[in-house]
Structure 1
Amino acid sequence: MMKNKITHLFLLVFSVSLLTSCFEDQDDDINPASVDDIKDFIYRGLDIFYLYKGDIPILAEDISEEAVTQFKNNYSTPENFFEALLSPDDRFSVIYSDYRVLENNLDGITLNNGMEYGLVSISNTNDVFGYVRYVLPNTSAESEGVTRGMIFNRIDGTALSVDNFRELLAPNTYTIGLANFEAGTLTPLEETITLTKQEYTENPVHIVNTIELENNQKVGYLMYNAFNRNFDNDLNNAFSQFQAENITDLVVDLRYNGGGSIETSNDLASMITGQFDGQLFSTQVYNELFEDQERLFNNEISTGAGINSLNLNKVYVLTTQSTASASELLIASLRPYIEVVQVGTATTGKYQGSVTLYDSPDFSRAGANINHRYAMQPLILKSVNANGFTDYDDGLIPTIQAEEDFANLGELGNPNENLFAAALNDVSFGRMAPPQPSFTEVELIGESDMNQPNFQRMYVETVE
């Protein structure tokens, strides 16, 4: 059967992290591949794996080779050919001209100055500013004294705008011009800070602490910024700490977490609970060539170590518009089993997952075409929770509405920070009312990871 053959092929699509360690780097001096070869790879991969294959006429099973050839000839570059094969509803499939950048990024390695920021535009004005979300340790931003809550509106003396922010923030070294934002008014300041990017590996387990409330409740707080399998031990150790501290409640801060590994999301759900081992976490639905795949709550992380579970029946999750993919998977997949109190604003709305495909006979990294370094991550599955819930294109709506106050962001993990305070108020049955910020209507237009290959990715490393 075709389905069995395709499933066997899918088993050969191994994860980037597993293959990178055992694959010799190609020499930098490689022969340029013909565009036709790359287009052949793109078509072949999407024709087999693409989630929305059934919506694309040129990917139909009965299409003629002549029709495919004619279609390919209409596009001059791999990128525009790839885009032409995507569904109009697909916001997330991507192609890369150099898979080494992707591989580093999936391992958490980036060129980074340590300033993690968001960019917003102020409604009814032309003003755009960046706000510092957090600062990574041992980076240029830390050494230069950048702190959460700083506002900047200029790069190398040029004012940020909706048209130039990507270009201005691209160089490895740039100077930010600080500003003040108060009562809806943005005021430039004279102070500037020069920052330099360096190769950096970020540990996504950013903050782990416990707060004891007046009624003797112990609230664990975890700020977790990416579902990265390389740091599964660190994540599991955080839950060991929560166990030792006998927490009664848990707040998981995913406000800036754009996603990552589906397996790690599955494991985090099992850390939060533990009492549902072997029950359905989510179902992965593929195109018509594949059988659906069930993913279960489990008791081991990717390293084989036992999961440190809290057996909670309720969890608080902090979210914003930057919360996406594997973060949303965690929330949606826990909801059929425990009470998930979502605090913040609506999430991105990404329930589809990808896999990395290389130009090789079985689409794995081993045996990849030596004439180019193109790879792609098309959407290949969508996640469906145990109640059949999926297709949340508009994001997941919070239980408790709360917003970050750009004029006073507060300290992450501090009980007075607006989103955390809103969660603690619910934990304490109204004893810890959050501050009342003065909001100005703004629109998020970008963030520090927006140009990274793994931005808002949700992916499988392999298929069982």
Structure 2
Amino acid sequence: MKKSITTGLFLSLFLFFSCTKSDDFSIPDTVDPDPDAGVEVQDFMWKAMNFWYFWQTDVENLSDTKFPNTPEGSDVYTVFLASESDPGKFFDNKLLSSKDRFSFFSDDYVELTQSLAGISKSNGLMFGLARQNKNSSELYGYVQYIVPNSNASTKNIQRGDLFTGVNGTTLTDQNYIALLFGDNDTYTLNMADIVGENAEPNGTDIQLTKEVGLMEDPILLDEIIEIQDKKIGYLVYTGFINEYDEELNRVFGRFKASNVTDLVLDLRYNPGGSVNTAVLLSSMIYGTNSKDVFLKALYNEKYQKILDDNDTELRQFFTEKTGKGTAINTLSLDKVYILTTSGTASASELVINGLDPYMDVIQIGGTTRGKNEFSVTMVDDRDNNYIYSPERAGKINKKNNWAIQPLLGRNENAEGFSEFTSGLTPQVELLEDLSNLGVLGDLQEPFLAKAIELITGSSAKGVQKVEFPIETMTNSKMFTPLKDNMYVTDPPIIW
């Protein structure tokens, strides 16, 4: 029988393993480049990817036999690393599998790791972008929500507002990145209204400024709705950020104390984040039986062999406590209603998939993103197997500020299902309506109204024919350092 490794859920940890080997685990030695070649960043990237990358065996450049650990091999390796002077291009062009849609790099590991904690440089405006029509290159933006205590929260702009230009220039699929996500910290949005079938400028301009260090609490809204004989907990959750796990548990404590009978979990604008937080949230919804498997993690062939050789199976269970040791406030439900869009990704999908074997998960809205792999932040810290640890910041190569966020593996649920690269399809399809986006938490907001209708059996007044369905092309969170990542802060290390 294989040993099943479980976790102590420390703050910001996913999996931390006890002894199965007497020696400290370390990545095997590989070839080194010429130290004077100026390829330190590329060398770090290759070595980290060669051992950890989920598709390592699929990428010829990452083959264990590509560069023998000999003087001749070192010369060939140095030439290979120097073939791209830009480390970002080297990572994208030389090391990634064609199957990989999500691995990425950063030239500033501090900025990246801060984003994992919900800290970023932002004006607080969260928005989606869509085409004016299917064949148009022109885009419009629509406000999804505004982060409290941000620059945007001080301006006359709110959910559902539209814009078609920036600084007087019409948004297109060719210029929107430079206009909205470029180097300018301040820009002016040219606002719009629906005219006919398009969004047209209305003459109103709103100036916004990005501020350093904005902290976004992912618990955007939590309330209890009492209707008929039901007490419905409603939670708008915008990111799996483990720094807010205790606050999340307090919300469920309030739900539990109020005898909430049903839960509507709004993940429409949640692109993911911490796997550990996904486990905690799922335990708050379903239960804390530590014998129930929430997920099984699968890794690349190289690391999976190490696990198999140690007779080890990596599984994560529902849990009784948070990382700080606080008892989980669980609702012990047998049904949950989850609101989704194409912006619902990674850890959000993990919650849906992980809960599905145990309870009735009613998904309302659009098909999710389809991100079923997880990643980890890696930096130039060889002695820690390239895994970023804030306690080891002083050990990171001071000549190399780059980080990579490669996909390490895939999470299966208790039934072995993980194949949802095309997204998770809702049982109840519903598109957001440009003409009726609604106010979050309002009983007439179409998505919440549909969930209440299903819970109570009463017809929902807020649900009507969708006049202007939104087909989002991308959204503002895809241009943060974290993007739509599902991450672990410590991968499973066999010690």
TM-score, normalization: structure 2? 0.85
Task: Work out the CA distance in 2 between the residues paired with 1:328 and 1:437.
Answer: 27
Deviations 1:292-343 (A, max 9, x none): 5111111111222111000000000000000000000000000000000000
Residue identity matched to 1:164: N
Secondary structure at the counterpart of residue 210 of structure 1: strand
Task: Work out the CA distance in 1 between the residues paired with 2:64 and 2:123.
Answer: 48
Report how many residues are paired: 439
Q: What is the correspondence of 1:68-87 to structure 2 with a 5 Å cutoff?
A: 68-83=77-92, 84-87=94-97
Aligned residue number for residue 352 of structure 1 = 373
Task: Work out the CA distance in 1 between the residues paired with 2:136 and 2:402.
Answer: 41
Task: Work out the CA distance in 2 between the residues paired with 1:336 and 1:182.
Answer: 46
Secondary structure at the counterpart of residue 218 of structure 1: strand
Q: What is the correspondence of 1:110-189 to structure 2 with a 5 Å cutoff?
A: 110-122=120-132, 123-170=134-181, 171-189=184-202
Q: What is the correspondence of 1:34-433 to structure 2 with a 5 Å cutoff?
A: 35-65=38-68, 66=73, 68-83=77-92, 84-122=94-132, 123-170=134-181, 171-199=184-212, 200-214=214-228, 216-274=229-287, 276-290=289-303, 291=307, 292-361=313-382, 362=384, 363-365=386-388, 366=392, 367-432=395-460
Measured at CA, do residues 442 and 34 of structure 1 come closer, stay the same or move farther in structure 2, by a change above 3 Å? farther
Superposition deviation, residue 85 in structure 1? 0.9
Deviations 1:29-67 (A, max 9, x none): xxxx96411111011100110011111123223333335
State which drifts further: 356-365 or 93-102: 356-365
CA contact (8 A) 1:182 1:407 kept: no
CA contact (8 A) 1:254 1:323 kept: yes
Deviations 1:371-403 (A, max 9, x none): 120111100010111111112111000010011
Deviations 1:252-295 (A, max 9, x none): 00000000000000010000011533310001101122235111
Residue identity matched to 1:61: D
Task: Work out the CA distance in 2 between the residues paired with 1:44 and 1:298.
Answer: 35
Deviations 1:202-223 (A, max 9, x none): 1001100011112x11111000
Task: Work out the CA distance in 1 between the residues paired with 2:192 and 2:40.
Answer: 50
CA contact (8 A) 1:355 1:377 kept: yes
Aligned residue number for residue 8 of structure 1 = 25
Residue identity matched to 1:266: V
Measured at CA, do residues 340 and 182 of structure 1 come closer, stay the same or move farther in structure 2, by a change above 3 Å? farther
Task: Work out the CA distance in 2 between the residues paired with 1:7 and 1:401.
Answer: 50
Residue identity matched to 1:448: S
Measured at CA, do residues 305 and 154 of structure 1 come closer, stay the same or move farther in structure 2, by a change above 3 Å? same
Secondary structure at the counterpart of residue 137 of structure 1: coil
Task: Work out the CA distance in 1 between the residues paired with 2:416 and 2:262.
Answer: 28
Residue identity matched to 1:101: E
Residue identity matched to 1:268: L
Measured at CA, do residues 463 and 85 of structure 1 come closer, stay the same or move farther in structure 2, by a change above 3 Å? closer
Task: Work out the CA distance in 2 between the residues paired with 1:405 and 1:441.
Answer: 5
Aligned residue number for residue 26 of structure 1 = none
Q: Percent identity?
A: 36
CA contact (8 A) 2:164 2:171 kept: yes
Secondary structure at the counterpart of residue 453 of structure 1: coil
Task: Work out the CA distance in 2 between the residues paired with 1:403 and 1:6.
Answer: 54
Secondary structure at the counterpart of residue 101 of structure 1: helix
Cα root mean square deviation, aligned: 1.9
Measured at CA, do residues 68 and 443 of structure 1 come closer, stay the same or move farther in structure 2, by a change above 3 Å? farther
Superposition deviation, residue 161 in structure 1? 0.7
Superposition deviation, residue 5 in structure 1? 9.6
Task: Work out the CA distance in 2 between the residues paired with 1:141 and 1:323.
Answer: 23
Residue identity matched to 2:319: N
Q: What runs of 5+ residues in structure 2 fail to find an aligned partner?
A: 1-19, 28-35, 308-312
Superposition deviation, residue 461 in structure 1? 1.2
Measured at CA, do residues 310 and 360 of structure 1 come closer, stay the same or move farther in structure 2, by a change above 3 Å? same
CA contact (8 A) 1:403 1:418 kept: no
Residue identity matched to 1:90: D
Secondary structure at the counterpart of residue 116 of structure 1: strand
Residue identity matched to 1:432: A
TM-score, normalization: structure 1? 0.91
